[in-house]
Each structure stands twice: as structure tokens, then as C-alpha cells.
Chain A
């Protein structure tokens, strides 16, 4: 079955770069689009970005200047980098598969990233 697993540091200092990787199993990453979504503590979901198997990307306009999403098909992984982080970037970060209906049909369990000095 399709599984996604986020990995990366749980603590990042202000002004530094947040880096996360999503490892996909059960399906080839080359067959779908993939997204990152985050959720600040006690708040709602925020879509961050998507990437296609061919490397096509798009970003949330509110984060576009600080975000990069990339894919490594050889490892069946995709990644997120968010630079110049502040405490406002503290959130649970989820990776998800974009389904044919342009929904998010499979999700990782999420990883909490705290921005603090």
C-alpha cells in the first residue's frame, strides 16, 4: 500500500533553513504529483507547494519567495526547503500525494518542526 514518511530536524533556529524529506513507498514517485502541507499548532491546514514527477512546481504565493520543492526519483523521495524561518513557521509539516481529482489521497503522519533559538 502507499505510504509516505516525513523526516528531518524537529528544531530549527530563526533565520535558518528548514529541510524536510518525504520518502514514498508502495508506488513510483514518477506516477503522480506530490505536495507539502503544514498546520501550525491549533490552527488549520495550509497548502505549501506541489511538484510533478517531471519537476514542474508551484508554490503558495504567501511562501513562494522562501520555498523550494524538489524530487529525487532514484530514491523515491521529494523534499522541502523553507529558508529564513521565523517562529511563525512552527508547524506540523505533512507530505501528501495529489490524486487524480486534485485531492490529497495519501498523507504522511506529519512531523513537528519548531522554530526556536
Chain B
């Protein structure tokens, strides 16, 4: 099965930049998508196609992919950004979805 590796936690002070990584052996051949999940809520898509933002998502959220690593970057972090973040790919070889283990972002 497809394995995506995320750090369990990332901490950042308000106003600083948070970077959350997502690694996988074949990630270079798949588009990466990112979700924000606040406690008790459904996940919300924040980045698709590695770096595109859905309408309504602040420009502070950006994504990138290089080699076998994708990164979600949140600039000028706010208290409201505190949440769990998940990366996701669609494994084209097996035709199914796969999520990373999730990263808890703590705003200090």
C-alpha cells in the first residue's frame, strides 16, 4: 500500500511560518493534496494539485513538491490555523486514495 509520512507535530509562534512535510517513495509521480481538520469537524481541502488553492482559502496557504517530498507552508500563522493537516495522493498504480498520518499544528 502507498505510504505517506508526515511529522506527528509541528509548533510555531503566531506570525511565523509553518512548514509541514509529506514524504513518499512515489510521490513524485502523483499530485499531492492537503486538508485542514479542526477538532470535531470534517476535513477541508486547502491545497490541490500540489500548489493550487481552492476559492476561499487564504493566500497564506501554499504548497510545493520537490522529488519525493511535498510541503505545505502557512505564512503569518494565526491561532485559527491550529488544526490537524493531512496530505493525500491518488495512487495511480492501484487506483485508490491514500492519506498521510497527519500533522498536528500547534500555535504557541
- State whether A103 touches B33 (Cβ < 8 A): yes
Q: How far is the CA of A37 from the CA of B101 in the complex (A)?
A: 14
Q: Which of B41, B45, B101 contacts A104 (CB 8 A)?
A: B45
Closest B-chain residue to A95, C-beta based?
B42
Q: How far is the CA of A110 from the CA of B42 in the complex (A)?
A: 7
Q: How far is the CA of A98 from the CA of B33 in the complex (A)?
A: 12
Report A36 CB to chain B, min CB distance, Å.
10
Q: How far is the CA of A47 from the CA of B101 in the complex (A)?
A: 12
Give chain A residues whose Cβ lies under 8 Å from the Cβ of B86: 44-45
- State whether B45 touches A50 (Cβ < 8 A): no
User: What 1/0 mask marks residues of chain B from 26 to 69 whose CB sits below 8 Å from any chain A CB?
Assistant: 00000101010100011111001100101000000000000000
Q: How far is the CA of A104 from the CA of B96 in the complex (A)?
A: 12
Closest B-chain residue to A45, C-beta based?
B99
- State whether A59 touches B88 (Cβ < 8 A): no
Q: How far is the CA of A58 from the CA of B91 in the complex (A)?
A: 12
- State whether B43 touches A44 (Cβ < 8 A): no
Instruction: Number of A interface residues at 8 Å Cβ cutoff, please give it.
Output: 24
- State whether B54 touches A50 (Cβ < 8 A): no
Q: How far is the CA of A35 from the CA of B98 in the complex (A)?
A: 12
Give chain B residues whose Cβ lies under 8 Å from the Cβ of A45: 35, 37, 43, 86, 88, 99, 102
Q: How far is the CA of A110 from the CA of B54 in the complex (A)?
A: 21
Instruction: Answer yes or no: A109 CB below 8 A from chain B CBs.
Output: yes
- State whether B54 touches A104 (Cβ < 8 A): no
Q: How far is the CA of A105 from the CA of B35 in the complex (A)?
A: 9
Instruction: Answer yes or no: B80 CB below 8 A from chain A CBs.
Output: no
Instruction: Answer yes or no: A26 CB below 8 A from chain B CBs.
Output: no
